């Protein structure tokens, strides 16, 4: 099986931090221009179609080439992944890449039609 | 010997046996084990890390083995059943017999995407969605909702014409047959079909929709068609590639088979037509 345990543990830690009220900085600008670099997209925090969506680089992201970035919908982590070309997908919209994590979060809200996410573990 | 047939040619009896067998596997819990395995690889396969089931050369042999395991499970319930394939270049509208109530049922209603007819509609009580990424426990679809058109035959032929199996960096950025068939690059075949069906088929838990197997049986047939068109083109990479399954390396989660051992499908099944 793929080694997903460490990343999942990391996701759980981030979820705990958010639940505990760790501040998330709203992005001042859209997170374009992140193509192939080692720096992840910036954080965001907004209400989209009645759901709070948040994203930010996850702790320890620098250890792993490619994105370690956490996205949340109403506080529940949405598993996202960056493709080699800089586009993004999530587990609820896996086969349809979008330009950045915010777009992945919005696509997830569209797909969910109000349903709650199930935490992955 | 198992013969995989075009779903459009199945008799009423063949459809009924296939559906009954799916429901029996679902009831036993074995069906959901396949959904769980697929989602674990969807979450774990990454472009810059270990990648086995998707976005890598082993996408095709991995799904060939995954379908073989599933087909064997079906045949343990009814030995006459084989996986049918869905040629989405021909049966390309929601009016196809594939989506009739005597087979897979149709698209979801607009309000919540819920499939309302056929044997897998939630109202039957036979198809609870247990392995899921959100709170909804009913099968959903939005046929043609997120993308209007399924791939055409001409688009398929343009991909079958690519003579190189796969290329570095062996991921979603690659040129070559595998990644164009998978759909991360170019006209987009396999990925687009997942998106066209919508509902759970667009997610990491896509095997929750039985059409997953018919879609992948056709993707698998396209690999066989490609090998016949390019008999001199090998699986690649051959050896020594970090994070990627080389020709003679064992594949997770089975660890007892290699891409080399899966190149020739005729050891396991044949197709109804070339």
- Identify whether the C-beta of residue A109 lies closer than 8 Å to the C-beta of residue B127: no
Angle ∠(B132,B137,B138) on CA atoms, nearest 5 = 115
Interface touch B136/A115, C-beta < 8 Å: yes
What is the Cα–Cα distance from B194 to B183, expressed in whole angstroms? 10
> Cα separation of B153 and B213, whole Å?
20
Is B46 in CB contact (< 8 Å) with chain A?
Answer: yes
Tell me what percent of the residues of chain B surpass a pLDDT of 90: 99
Tokens 């970090």 appear where? B242
Cα dist from A120 to A11, A65, A80, A99, whole Å: 9, 22, 11, 23
Averaged pLDDT of chain B: 97
Q: What's the distance, CA A78 to chain centroid?
A: 6
CA dihedral B135, B138, B144, B150 (to 10 degrees): 100
Which chain A residues contact residue B192 at CB under 8 A? 95
Residues of B with Cβ-Cβ distance to A104 under 8 angstroms: none
> Does B191 contact chain A (CB < 8 Å)?
yes
Q: Are B252 and A2 an interchain contact pair (Cβ–Cβ within 8 Å)?
A: yes
Question: In B, which residues are within 8 Å of A85 by CB distance?
Answer: 172-173
Q: Determine the average pLDDT of the residues in B208-235.
A: 98
Q: How confident is the model at residue B237 (pLDDT cuts 50, 70, 90)?
A: very high
Determine whether the interchain pair B203/A93 forms a contact, defined as Cβ–Cβ distance below 8 Å: yes
pLDDT tens per residue, range A30-81: 334 434 444 568 999 999 999 999 999 987 544 444 448 999 999 999 999 9
Residue in B38, B40, B46 to test binding to A, most A beta-carbons within 10 Å: B46
ipTM given for this complex: 0.94
What pLDDT does B151 receive? 98
**Structure-token pair, residue B201:** 């088929």
Between the CA of residue B166 and those of B144, B159, B208, B232, what are the distances in Å?
Answer: 30, 12, 29, 14
Tell me what pLDDT residue A29 has.
36
How far apart CA B153 and CA B191 sit, in angstroms, is 16
Q: Which residues of A touch B252 (CB under 8 A)?
A: 1-2
pLDDT tens for each residue of B174-189: 999 999 999 999 999 9
3-state secondary structure of B18: helix
Mean pLDDT value of segment B140-150: 96
Neighbours of B97 (CB within 10 A): 14
pLDDT value of residue A27: 34
Q: What angle do CA A98, A102, A107 make, to 5 degrees?
A: 60
pLDDT value at residue B215: 98
pLDDT value at residue A17:
36
Percent of chain A with pLDDT over 90: 55
Q: How confident is the model at residue B274 (pLDDT cuts 50, 70, 90)?
A: low
Residues of A at the B interface, defined by Cβ within 8 angstroms: 1-4, 64-66, 79, 81-85, 91-97, 111-113, 115-118, 120
Strand partners, B269: B2
For testing contact with chain A, the best of B40, B41, B43 (most A CBs within 10 A):
B43
The pLDDT confidence band at residue A121, using thresholds 50, 70 and 90, is: low
What residues in B contact A98, CB-CB < 8 Å?
A: none
Query: With an 8 Å Cβ cutoff, are B135 and A115 in contact?
Result: yes
Q: What is the mean pLDDT of residues B241-265?
A: 98
**Local structure of residue A62 (DSSP, 8 states):** G
Strand pairing of A88-90 and A93-98?
antiparallel
Angle, helix B59-77 to helix B211-229, in steps of 10 degrees: 130
Is B42–A115 a contact, with Cβ atoms under 8 angstroms apart? no
Closest-CA distance of chain B to residue A1, Å? 5
User: Residue A68 has what pLDDT?
Assistant: 81
Q: Given this model, what pLDDT does residue A39 score?
A: 58
Contact A118 B183 (CB under 8 A): no
Whether a cis peptide bond, with omega within 30° of 0, leads into B237 is: yes
Percent of chain B with pLDDT over 70: 100
**CB spacing of A113 vs B112 below 8 angstroms:** yes
Q: Do B134 and A92 touch (CB under 8 A)?
A: yes
CB contact under 8 A, B204 and A91: yes
pTM of the entire predicted model: 0.89
* Cβ B74 vs Cβ B25: under 8 Å: yes
> 């899921």: which residue's tokens?
B132
Task: Give the pLDDT confidence of B70-116 residue by residue, as tens digits.
Answer: 999 999 999 999 999 999 999 999 999 999 999 999 999 999 999 99
Give the three-state DSSP class for B2.
Answer: strand
**What was the pLDDT predicted at A58?**
86
Of the ranges A18-27, A54-63, A86-95, which is most confident?
A: A86-95
A51 CA to chain B: closest CA distance, Å?
A: 14
Strands ordered across the beta sheet of A93-98: A80-82, A88-90, A93-98
User: Comparing C-alpha atoms, which of B201, B208, B211, B89 is closest to residue B145?
Assistant: B201
């Amino acid at each position: 099986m793929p080694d997903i345990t460490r990343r999942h543990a990391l996701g759980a830690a981030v979820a705990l931090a958010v639940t505990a009220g760790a501040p998330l900085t709203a992005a001042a600008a859209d997170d374009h221009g992140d193509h192939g670099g080692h720096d992840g997209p910036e954080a965001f925090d907004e209400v989209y179609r009645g759901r709070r969506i948040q994203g930010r680089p996850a702790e320890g992201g620098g250890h792993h080439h490619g994105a370690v970035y956490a996205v949340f919908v109403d506080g529940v982590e949405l598993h996202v992944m960056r493709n080699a070309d800089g586009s993004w997908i999530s587990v609820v919209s896996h086969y349809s890449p979008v330009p950045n994590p915010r777009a992945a979060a919005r696509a997830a809200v569209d797909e969910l039609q109000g349903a709650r996410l199930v935490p992955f573990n | 010997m198992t013969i995989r047939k075009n779903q459009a040619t199945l008799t009423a009896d063949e459809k009924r046996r296939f559906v009954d067998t799916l429901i029996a596997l679902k009831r036993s819990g074995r069906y959901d084990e396949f959904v769980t395995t697929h989602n674990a690889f969807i979450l774990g396969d990454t472009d810059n890390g270990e990648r086995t089931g998707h976005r890598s050369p082993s996408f095709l042999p991995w799904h060939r083995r995954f379908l073989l395991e599933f087909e064997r499970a079906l045949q343990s319930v009814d030995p006459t059943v084989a996986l049918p394939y869905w040629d989405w270049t021909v049966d390309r509208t929601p009016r196809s017999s594939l989506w009739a109530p005597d087979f897979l049922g149709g698209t979801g209603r607009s309000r919540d995407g819920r499939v309302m007819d056929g044997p897998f509609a939630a109202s039957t009580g036979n198809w609870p969605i247990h392995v899921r990424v959100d709170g909804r426990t009913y099968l959903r679809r939005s046929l043609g909702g997120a993308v209007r058109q399924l791939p055409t035959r001409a688009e398929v032929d343009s991909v079958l014409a690519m003579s190189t199996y796969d290329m570095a960096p062996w991921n979603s950025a690659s040129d070559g047959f595998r990644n164009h068939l998978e759909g991360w690059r170019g006209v987009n075949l396999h990925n687009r079909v997942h998106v066209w069906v919508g509902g759970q088929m667009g997610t990491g838990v896509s095997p929750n929709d039985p059409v997953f197997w018919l879609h992948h049986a056709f993707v698998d047939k396209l690999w066989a068609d490609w090998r016949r068109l390019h008999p001199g083109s090998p699986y690649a990479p051959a050896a020594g590639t970090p994070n990627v399954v080389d020709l003679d390396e064992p594949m997770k989660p089975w660890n007892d088979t290699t891409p080399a051992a899966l190149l020739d499908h005729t050891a396991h099944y044949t197709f109804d037509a070339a």
